[in-house]
């Protein structure tokens, strides 16, 4: 978005120029449609580093972090608490593909994108994993190996901040009490940046159960692996 794509010239024209300069384009955009235009108008690989619809490179780093911690995907349960946003969409697809059970707790109207829910349903028919979308955080975290959350006010929704915080707080904040409710030594994950006191209590993200710094490190390694595979 720093290039002001689509402002001074068509996105398609920018894509054609970048095609002449680069071997691969890694794009972080607001509108997913912009990403699609970049990919369709250039002859080089275009990687989605984040869009309003999904965040697949974050999901890959998350899955690597889970593998490092557990050494497996089967019989691992993820509880996602909060807004069914772009991060949730990609995590949902990745978990359902690899056999990780994922249960999502979100307010009504903040569910994951229907297309991604359908994609997950297709995946679980092959992987055998389980996908649930519920309302009660305490219900989804029971027996969870990992509790995952993200910001309540994603990019592009700044004008809804007050409404969103009133909707999500305090029910959907990941607190030490919610972590204990899993009934086991569970881990905490967050894609960063975070807002302590909103989606997560500082005692959780800064505590011994937090894997957020591993996630942050693994974003580098997964990005390197993707680039090596494509270039």
Q: Where are the domains of the chain?
A: 11-51, 56-215
What pLDDT was estimated at residue 147? Answer: 99
pLDDT along the chain (231 residues), means of 10: 66 94 95 96 96 98 99 98 99 98 98 98 98 98 98 92 98 98 97 98 98 99 96 89
* DSSP H stretches of helix in the chain: 11-21, 32-41, 56-70, 86-98, 114-127, 137-141, 161-168, 176-180, 202-205, 212-230
Separation of alpha carbons 52 and 219, rounded Å = 19
Q: What is the DSSP letter of 136?
A: -
Indicate the pTM of the whole model: 0.94
Residue 40 burial class via C-beta count within 10 angstroms: exposed 0-12, middle 13-18, buried 19 and up: exposed
Does the domain spanning 56-215 belong to CATH 3.40.50.1370?
yes
């Amino acid at each position: 978005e720093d290039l002001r794509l689509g402002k001074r010239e068509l996105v398609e024209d920018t894509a054609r120029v970048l095609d002449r300069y680069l071997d691969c384009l890694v794009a972080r955009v607001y509108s997913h449609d912009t990403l699609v235009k970049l990919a369709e108008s250039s002859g080089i690989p275009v990687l989605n580093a984040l869009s309003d619809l999904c965040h697949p490179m974050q999901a890959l780093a998350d899955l690597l972090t889970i593998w490092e911690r557990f050494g497996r995907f089967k019989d691992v349960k993820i509880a996602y608490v909060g807004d069914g946003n772009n991060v949730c969409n990609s995590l949902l697809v990745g978990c359902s593909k690899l056999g990780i059970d994922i249960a999502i707790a979100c307010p009504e109207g903040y569910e994951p994108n229907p297309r991604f829910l359908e994609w997950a349903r297709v995946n679980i028919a092959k992987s055998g994993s389980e996908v649930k979308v519920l309302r009660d955080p305490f219900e989804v975290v029971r027996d969870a190996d990992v509790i995952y959350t993200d910001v309540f006010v994603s990019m592009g929704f700044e004008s809804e901040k007050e409404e969103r915080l009133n909707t999500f707080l305090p029910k959907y904040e990941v607190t030490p009490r919610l972590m204990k409710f899993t009934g086991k030594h569970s881990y905490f994950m967050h894609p960063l940046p975070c807002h302590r006191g909103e989606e997560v209590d500082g005692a959780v993200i800064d505590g011994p159960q937090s894997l957020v710094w591993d996630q942050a490190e693994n974003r580098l390694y997964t990005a390197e692996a993707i680039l090596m595979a494509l270039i």
